[in-house]
Amino acid sequence: MLGILMKSWRVGIVTRNQQAKNRKFGRSWHIRHVDCGSCNGCDWEMNALLNPIYDLQRYGLDFVASPRHADILMVTGSVTKHLQVALKKTFDATPAPKIVIALGDCASNGGIFKDSYATLGGVDKVIPVSIKIPGCPPSPQEILDVLLAQLQKKVV
């Protein structure tokens, strides 16, 4: 057991990276959620995308359990000092090419918590952000609209 863990640890990320610049995303995005200090409002709206009303999966989009499986990190909350390391590690664990979406006002610019001793501000203070979706919280429909528009564009 420990041997397997050590092996994985030593090998690290092996996903091929060199063509990242030219590769375009297909029509299926896998999204990994990272809560870096939200009030859980945005998180619940993201969760609502999976309910039968919005049913995100029918568009080829889905939430995955590990950053290793993800194309997109969708980050909520203004980054707390307690979570900055976890956020950075999650970003590093995500294979390139990757997109970071800052979901909600807090993730976009620190929101109401940006001046606190316990937070660093928006997600872009720690990792590069490609797309910001403002709102407190943005509704599931607004989130979905942005995702679908980006899918059309085939960004990156």
Partner 1 sequence: MAAKEPDLIQLLLQEFSQQTKFMGAKAGNEYYLEVSKEALPEVSSYLVKHLRASLATMIGNDERSINGSFRLYYYFAVEYEEIFIVLTSAINPVEPAFPSITPLVPSAQWYEREVQDMFGLKPVGHPDPRRLVLHHDWPQGTHPLRKDFNLDSLEKLPSSDYPFGEIDGTGPFYVPVGPIHAGIIEPGHFRFSVAGETILNLEARLFYAHRGVEKLAEGGSLEAGLNLAERVCGTCAFSHSVSFCQAIERAANVQIPERALFVRTILLEMERLYNHIGDVGNICAGVGLALGTSHGNRIKEAILQLNQDLTGSRFLRGINAMGGLKKDISDQQLAALKTKLEQLAGDFTDLAEILLEHDSLIQRLRGTGRLSLVAVEDLGVVGPSARASGCIKDWRKVFPHGVYGQLEFEVAGETSGDVLARLKVRVNEVKTSFDLIFQLVSQIPAGAIVQPVGELVPYQAALGWSESARGNNLHWVMIGPGNNIFRYRIRSASYCNWPAVPLAVQGDIIPDFPLINKSFELCYACTDR
Between the alpha carbon of residue 103 and those of residues 60, 89, 134, the distances in Å are: 20, 19, 7
Q: Which is nearer to partner 1, 48 or 156 (CB)?
A: 48
Among 29, 56, 113, 133, binds partner 1 (CB under 8 A): 113
Q: Tell me if 45 contacts partner 1 by CB under 8 A.
A: yes
Q: Are 143 and 45 in contact (CB under 8 A)?
A: yes
Which residues have CB under 8 Å from 24's CB, separation 6+? 154, 156
State in angstroms the smallest separation of the CB of 34 from partner 1: 6
Q: Tell me if 29 contacts partner 1 by CB under 8 A.
A: no
Q: Which is nearer to partner 1, 28 or 139 (CB)?
A: 139
Among 6, 13, 20, 136, binds partner 1 (CB under 8 A): 136
Strand extents, DSSP E, the chain: 30-35, 62-63, 72-76, 79-80, 99-103, 119-121, 131-133
Q: Which is nearer to partner 1, 99 or 110 (CB)?
A: 110
Q: Which is nearer to partner 1, 28 or 66 (CB)?
A: 66
Q: Tell me if 28 contacts partner 1 by CB under 8 A.
A: no
The whole-angstrom separation of Cα 32 and Cα 116 is 27
Q: Which is nearer to partner 1, 8 or 18 (CB)?
A: 8
Q: Tell me if 43 contacts partner 1 by CB under 8 A.
A: yes
The whole-angstrom separation of Cα 87 and Cα 95 is 14
**Residue 54: CB atoms within 10 Å:** 17
Q: Write out the residues near partner 1 by the rule CB under 8 A.
A: 33-48, 50-53, 63, 65-67, 77-78, 80-83, 86, 90, 112-113, 115-119, 136-137, 139
